[in-house]
Structure 1
Amino acid sequence: MKSQKTLWILLVAGFCFWSGLAITLPTLPLYIQSLGGTPHQVGIVMGGFAIGLIASRAWLGKLADRNGRKRVLLIGLGVAVLAPLTYLLDFFFFHSLPLMFALRGIHGISIAAFTTGYVALIVDIAPPEHRGQILGYTSLVHPMGVALGPSLGSWLEAEAGHGWVFLAATLFGLAGLVCILYVRECPPSSAQAENSGLFWRLLGAARLRIPTLVMLLVGLAFGTLSTFVPLFIKAENIDFSPGLFYSAAALSSFIGRVATGSASDRWGRGVFISLSLLFYTASMVGLAQAQTGADLLVAGFLEGFGGGVLIPMMSALMADRSQPDERGRVLSLTMGGFDFGIAIAGPIIGALAADWGLRTLFACGGGFTILALGLFFSGSGLKVADSYRFAVGRGPDPYALPMPMEN
């Protein structure tokens, strides 16, 4: 009963968090551009978000294992309240690109903290035999928030300006913060407190290396997409709201999470991770060729399904491969690969945009996800044959821990 109540509180907090974060997705690149930012500068400023993610992941993962998940959740939502308020100050008083870059870096701490605490606490609660199903359902708050946020942000920006967008983001964060105050969790065990160090030693572990590289490559593709889709629509004069692209992605993400969570408990995580990478590739290729609003809707739907399946499946995979006393660090490390990909995508892709064009860069994003698929097929086990069987759903995860080891 207590666990069920905690799950419901987490669901509401998660919806508020992702809605507040997503409300700025279609509008912030345009705001940065309105300050005089070039596509390269837009990429740099937007990439600052992931720098905060990377810088804080190791510390937050260790904190989650040592001091509990709730403290990390409070940090995430606290930053989600404060960061949009600082955007509001820039909007009214400073109009500074360097300041926005710094503020984006601080804002990045919010997603590092919230995602680490949220997933770790849910895995702690969920029975191992239903882990994929529960992670799939509880991760629905992401597409729900991303469905509401961009559309609301685009509408607010058109009707009232950027200031109201930033204020709304703050209010969503505040609502989530209040929810987390009511979460109760068991205190960390003595084993968790004693084993909370050695974060970077995990990086060399075979069970984590390939998933982290896969997430890095997907982060490169996602960083390209999330930063430059609004600018691409504007540059190509396509009569289409950027918010609709993200809403289409959110809808398909919802479908993907519902359809695959419980299935992965029966058939394994590998086949669904492979499927998600194929959908991601198709989305990037579709963006490279998009000419109409309908093309963009299809690309958004494909990207949403790919991301909606990949994130919870990768989280479940890492939970399968880790023990409770290291789970926060393991999740932080793997998702840190995604963060790093986003961080370097903005500046690098932005620098190439003028010479190569955005269509070519979206096609390169498809190349990143194809490479990720190749790595996953060949490197998910000690032998290529074992990796392939796992990746297509015909063999077990070579690195999964025995289920009795879970509490």
Structure 2
Amino acid sequence: MGIRQILTRDFLLTFAAQLTFSFSLFVLIPTIPIYLSRIGTAEAEIGILIGTSSVSSLILRPFIGRALLTTPERNLMFMGALFFIFCSIAYLFLSPFWPFLMIRVFQGFGFALFYTASTTFIANISPEAHRGQSLSYFFLAFNFAFALAPSFGMFLINQFNFTLLFLVCAALSLSSLFLSTRLEKRAANVPEASATEDRSFLSR
């Protein structure tokens, strides 16, 4: 009975959205350094450009957590997917260093928005007695993408070219955006934030 309570329509939609979104991220892990190297980017700059998205994601996450108190999760997932679509297309036209750096920053924002919102949504729609089990199933989407997407990315650049790689990233992000729009606007059991609980520095 527990598995039926977990695998609801919204859970499966969010799982699929997270899978396609994560694929669009992880296909770039082995391929972006190769792309930057081929267009003549210095090794030190490659390291900065690769790490920038992670730094921007970490900076934004606390603010996303606060925004989720009042904003539907699917709205932030939608925004995160939009960021990824924009960045995937921008890769085709922008060259290092500074324009590319800004794209990496925006991609970090997109990852923070989508991943934080999707995980929160799953936690909110899961039965309390099965929340841990539900989240463990959900994180399989992330694991599957991490296991398969890098090899897929290398296949694309070896058999085709970087243009197709970035277009595939955009298509995957578009799929996650579409799936996000099919979710309920607000998870049913989201707790309301009370004034007495509002004590963090982010609220000031």
Shift of 1:145: 1.7
Greater helix content: 1
- Select the residue among 12, 15, 35 that pairs with 1:8: 12
Shift of 1:159: 1.8
Partner in structure 1 of residue 192 of structure 2: 191
- Select the residue among 14, 33, 37 that pairs with 1:33: 37
Task: Work out the CA distance in 1 between the residues paired with 2:43 and 2:96.
Answer: 16
Task: Work out the CA distance in 2 between the residues paired with 1:98 and 1:50.
Answer: 17
Over 6 Å off, 4+ runs: 187-190
Partner in structure 2 of residue 366 of structure 1: none
Shift of 1:195: 7.0
Shift of 1:194: 4.8
Distance change in 2, residues 1:25/1:103 (3 Å): same
Amino acid at match of 1:191: E
Task: Work out the CA distance in 1 between the residues paired with 2:173 and 2:194.
Answer: 29
Structure 2 alignment gaps of length 5 or more: none
Structure 1 alignment gaps of length 5 or more: 203-407
Distance change in 2, residues 1:188/1:129 (3 Å): closer
Distance change in 2, residues 1:198/1:188 (3 Å): farther
Contact 2:88 2:169 in 1 (8 A): yes
Contact 1:62 1:196 in 2 (8 A): no
3-state SS in 2 of match to 1:192 = coil
Partner in structure 2 of residue 87 of structure 1: 91
- Pairs within 5 Å for 1:378-393: none
- Pairs within 5 Å for 1:135-174: 135-174=135-174
3-state SS in 2 of match to 1:65 = coil
Contact 1:19 1:145 in 2 (8 A): yes
Partner in structure 1 of residue 27 of structure 2: 23
Partner in structure 1 of residue 58 of structure 2: 54
Matched, 1:181 2:184: no
Partner in structure 1 of residue 46 of structure 2: 42
Distance change in 2, residues 1:195/1:16 (3 Å): farther
- Pairs within 5 Å for 1:318-333: none
Q: What is the TM-score normalised by the length of structure 1?
A: 0.45
Question: Which string of whole-angstrom CA distances, capped at 9 and with x for unpartnered residues, describes residues 202-235 of structure 1?
Answer: 9xxxxxxxxxxxxxxxxxxxxxxxxxxxxxxxxx
Partner in structure 1 of residue 96 of structure 2: 96
Amino acid at match of 2:24: G
Task: Work out the CA distance in 1 between the residues paired with 2:127 and 2:194.
Answer: 23
Contact 2:18 2:115 in 1 (8 A): no
Shift of 1:180: 0.7
Distance change in 2, residues 1:196/1:37 (3 Å): farther
Task: Work out the CA distance in 2 between the residues paired with 1:189 and 1:145.
Answer: 28
- Pairs within 5 Å for 1:224-263: none
Contact 1:53 1:111 in 2 (8 A): yes
Task: Work out the CA distance in 2 between the residues paired with 1:195 and 1:96.
Answer: 47
3-state SS in 2 of match to 1:89 = coil
Cα root mean square deviation, aligned:
2.5
Task: Work out the CA distance in 2 between the residues paired with 1:3 and 1:157.
Answer: 36
Larger radius of gyration: 1
| Structure with greater contact order relative to length (CA < 8 Å, sep ≥ 6) | 2
Partner in structure 2 of residue 125 of structure 1: 125
Task: Work out the CA distance in 2 between the residues paired with 1:9 and 1:153.
Answer: 24
Query: Percent of aligned positions with the same letter in both sequences?
Result: 21
Amino acid at match of 2:81: L
Task: Work out the CA distance in 2 between the residues paired with 1:113 and 1:144.
Answer: 20
Task: Work out the CA distance in 2 between the residues paired with 1:61 and 1:196.
Answer: 14
3-state SS in 1 of match to 2:93 = helix
